[in-house]
């Protein structure tokens, strides 16, 4: 007998292995002549070389499935076991047994399926596919930030980019966070909480921790973008209505040749001091005729929160507020 060790990196063990290692026990039951032991993040396989090869193929397929869909069911395990070793066009193993849905952006945690839910959200997705720089402007609750985060996470999972950088202007603290208690993360977290909430829906906790600790996903206030050139990255600027023209220009000139960016903002929620012009409003006007930059307008019809939010937005629009 020979032995092989497979290490499970950047996965939620409970989601991958199943409750009480049920998923791995299913695989073991299909190969009674081999021994499969799960301990921590390691899986040890003992058996004949042909069986170890088949078991390894199944586990690798399950890993790919988990990375794409964020969960593994008993049915998934059985399907991969049944398809293992079956040729496709004379070679290779059977393709993933879960049908692809072109409208799905991310298969998130706890069975969450993230997709564009309104026409304008779909336009945002299409614009991001065709253009390297997209402005998404609309009122609160229209899903512009959530959709933008999902687009970026999809690009990372598909290895279209090497990292995600998400930033916001910390206007309430005047971009000067030194007087707040705690380390940098504790200082800026209150301003970036909506971003974390979106990421929590889309990426398993252990993997998100790995991404943030290794700066694969970086979340920082806009002031910390100065002087950087961002390559191989998907960059999101949220709450852009609270940038000054100088800050907006600084952000726009951070893009490297292999980067993509989405800028989101709400014209009706500008928190800048009186008489201070919004960098978002100015940039939309200045850049509107540049080929390769897309502009998507969202409105009350795109509100995906409580039904009253849509009516509140409509009422304020009618009042000219």
Q: Do 125 and 159 fall into the same domain? A: yes
- pLDDT tens, position by position, 190-242: 667 788 888 988 888 888 888 999 999 998 888 888 888 889 999 999 999 99
**Strands, sheet with 233-237, edge to edge from the N-terminal-most edge strand:** 217-221, 163-168, 233-237, 260-265, 133-137, 293-297
User: 26 and 116, same structural domain?
Assistant: no
pTM above 0.75, yes or no: no
Domain-located, residue 306: yes
pLDDT (tens digit per residue) in 145-202: 999 999 999 999 888 999 999 998 875 544 444 545 555 556 666 667 788 888 988 8
**Together in a domain, 38 and 111:** no
Query: Which residue bears the tokens 């396989």?
Result: 45
Based on the domain organization, do 55 and 203 belong to the same domain?
no
Give domain status of residue 91, yes or no: no
> Does the structure show a pLDDT above 70 at 87?
no
Is 275 inside a domain boundary?
yes
Specify whether 75 is located in the same domain as 129: no
φ, ψ at 291 (rounded to 5°) = -70, 135
Residue 88 inside a domain? The answer is no
Is the same domain home to 300 and 155? Answer: yes
Query: Is 98 contained in some domain?
Result: no
- Of 29, 49, 83, the residue at which a domain comes to its end is 83
Gyration radius (Cα) of the chain, Å: 23
If you average pLDDT over each of 9-18, 64-73, 273-282, which comes out highest? 273-282
Q: Do both 168 and 266 map to the same domain?
A: yes
H-type alpha helices, the chain: 13-17, 22-30, 49-69, 74-83, 119-130, 144-157, 184-202, 205-213, 245-252, 279-287, 307-318
Domain with residue 268: its CATH number is 3.40.50.300
CATH code where residue 31 lies: 3.30.1370.10
Tell whether 146 and 286 lie within a shared domain: yes
User: Which of 83, 116, 147 is the last residue in one of the domains?
Assistant: 83
| CA distances to 16, 18, 107, 251 from 71, in Å | 7, 9, 8, 36
CA dist., res. 246 & res. 166, Å (int): 19
Distance CA 67, CA 61 (A): 10
Is residue 10 one of the residues assigned to a domain? yes
Mean pLDDT of 256-274: 89
| Domain hosting residue 75, numbered range | 2-83
Residue 11 resides in a domain: yes
User: 50, 83, 116: which is the final residue of a domain?
Assistant: 83
> 91 falls in which pLDDT band (50, 70, 90)?
very low
**pLDDT tens sequence across 122-133:** 999 999 999 999
- Are 162 and 234 contained in the same domain? yes
193/83 Cα distance (integer angstroms): 43
In a shared domain, residues 51 and 169: no
- Domains in the chain: how many in total? 2
Q: Where is pLDDT greater, at 110 or 81?
A: 81
């Amino acid at each position: 007998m020979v032995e092989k060790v497979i290490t499970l990196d950047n996965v939620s063990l409970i989601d991958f292995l199943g409750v009480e290692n049920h998923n791995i026990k299913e695989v073991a039951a299909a190969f009674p002549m081999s021994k499969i032991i799960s301990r921590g993040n390691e899986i040890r396989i003992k058996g004949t070389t042909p069986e170890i090869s088949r078991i390894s193929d199944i586990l690798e397929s399950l890993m790919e499935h988990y990375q794409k869909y964020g969960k593994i069911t008993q049915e998934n395990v059985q399907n991969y076991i049944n398809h293992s070793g079956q040729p496709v066009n004379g070679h290779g193993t059977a393709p993933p047994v879960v049908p692809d849905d072109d409208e799905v952006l991310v298969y998130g945690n706890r069975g969450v399926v993230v997709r564009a839910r309104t026409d304008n959200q779909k336009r945002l997705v299409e614009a991001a596919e065709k253009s390297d720089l997209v402005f998404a402007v609309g009122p609160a609750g229209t899903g512009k930030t959530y959709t933008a985060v999902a687009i970026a996470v999809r690009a990372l999972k598909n290895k279209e980019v090497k990292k995600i950088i998400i930033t916001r202007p910390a206007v309430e603290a005047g971009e000067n966070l030194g007087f707040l208690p705690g380390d940098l993360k504790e200082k800026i977290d209150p301003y970036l909480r909506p971003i974390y909430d979106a990421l929590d829906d889309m990426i398993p906790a252990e993997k998100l921790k790995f991404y943030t600790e290794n700066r694969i996903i970086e979340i920082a206030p806009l002031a910390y973008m100065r002087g950087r050139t961002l390559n191989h990255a998907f960059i999101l600027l949220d709450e852009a209505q609270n940038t000054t023209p100088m800050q907006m220009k600084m952000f726009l000139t951070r893009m490297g040749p292999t980067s993509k960016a989405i800028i989101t903002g709400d014209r009706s929620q500008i928190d800048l001091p009186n008489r201070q012009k919004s960098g978002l409003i100015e940039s939309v006007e200045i850049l509107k005729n540049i080929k390769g930059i897309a502009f998507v307008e969202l409105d009350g019809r795109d509100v995906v929160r409580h039904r009253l939010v849509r009516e509140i937005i409509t009422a304020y629009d009618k009042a000219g507020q």
